[in-house]
Amino acid sequence: MARLKRILMVVTNSGHLDAQHPTGVWFEEFAIPYQEFRANGFEVTVASPQGGPAPIDPRSEPGPEQAREATEARIPSSSPAGTAPCLTSQATFPCKIPCAALWSKAN
């Protein structure tokens, strides 16, 4: 029996660096690898520091020309980092996460 390929994609939970600076996952940095991993037979687990929603950076929201890709690659609710689905992956793919966003959620 073939061994299932699992990959862990790590994203942020933070939607704001502060009141004036919204942030989140850059859409294409998540969507393109996510689609490629799925197309190549990977089971993808999405994780974040707290689990739950992972906002898209408003500056990277997909336009009408990317509507199909956006629908296919919407970030599912993420698992909290360190949970069982995260620990059984064969590889980890960190989506670029603003350091301040990680820090603000960890402290």
Which pLDDT value is given to residue 57? 87
Q: Give the list of residues 6+ apart from residue 33 with CB closer than 8 angstroms, or none.
A: 9, 93, 95
Which pLDDT value is given to residue 89? 80
Q: What is the pLDDT along the chain (107 residues), one digit of tens a residue?
A: 456 688 888 888 888 888 888 888 888 888 888 888 989 999 888 888 888 888 888 888 777 776 666 555 567 677 887 776 767 788 888 876 554 444 444 44
User: What residue type is assigned to position 36 of the chain?
Assistant: E
Which pLDDT value is given to residue 100? 43
Which pLDDT value is given to residue 96? 64
Per-position DSSP letters for 64-85, written without gaps between them: GGGHHHHHHTPPPPBEETTSHH
- How many CB atoms are closer than 10 A to CB 53? 14
Which pLDDT value is given to residue 58? 87
Residue pointed to by tokens 């020309």: 65
Which pLDDT value is given to residue 102? 45
Q: Give the list of residues 6+ apart from residue 4 with CB closer than 8 angstroms, or none.
A: 43
